[in-house]
Amino acid sequence: MHLIRRLFSFRISNPTLSGLYYSFFWMMVGALILSFLLWSSGMKEQSLSRYIYVVHAVAAAFGGLVSGKRSGRRGWYQGGLTGILYGLMIIIIGFLALDSSLRLGDLLLIAAVIASGAIGGMFGVNLKNKS
């Protein structure tokens, strides 16, 4: 049984990459929830901008939490780095997919994900098991 668990386990050892992995996972969960809200209620797509910032901030916070927990030290740094990379990847994907230019909202997004990633990283370091 241990051999099967070891064969099918997937673990990223780099704290920043594992934080990015979890950030994108939680972003997809948030996008699914927002899509369900759009479908089930009378909400318009134009009113989603605040919720999108919340989804990205929560995703970066969870990514920073995982990053800080995996690193075990300097959680604000690991979480902030995860937030910076997450925000830049979101902006680059938006630029390539939608051909959008850089706006003030994008800089606000970068600031929000850096701050929430750093806060998540600080909490993540404290979740590390001290043996």
pLDDT, one tens digit per residue, over 9-60 is: 667 778 888 899 999 999 999 999 999 988 888 778 777 888 889 999 999 9
> Domain for residue 34, yes or no?
no
Residue 11 lies in a domain: no
pTM of the predicted structure, to 2 decimals:
0.83
- What range defines the domain where residue 51 resides? 47-131
pLDDT at position 131, please? 45
Q: Is residue 127 a part of any domain in this protein?
A: yes
pLDDT at 8: 60
For residue 21, tell me if it sits in a domain. no
Please count the structural domains in the chain.
1
Residue 29: both structure tokens together:
């969960």
Give the pLDDT confidence of 62-120 residue by residue, as tens digits.
999 999 988 888 888 999 999 999 999 999 888 888 877 788 888 899 999 999 999 99
Residue 75 within a domain: yes
DSSP string of 21-37?
HHHHHHHHHHHHHHHHH
With respect to residue 91, please indicate whether it lies within any of the assigned structural domains.
Answer: yes
- Please tell me the distance from the alpha carbon of residue 118 to that of residue 55, in angstroms, as a whole number: 16
- The structure tokens 């704290």 sit at 15
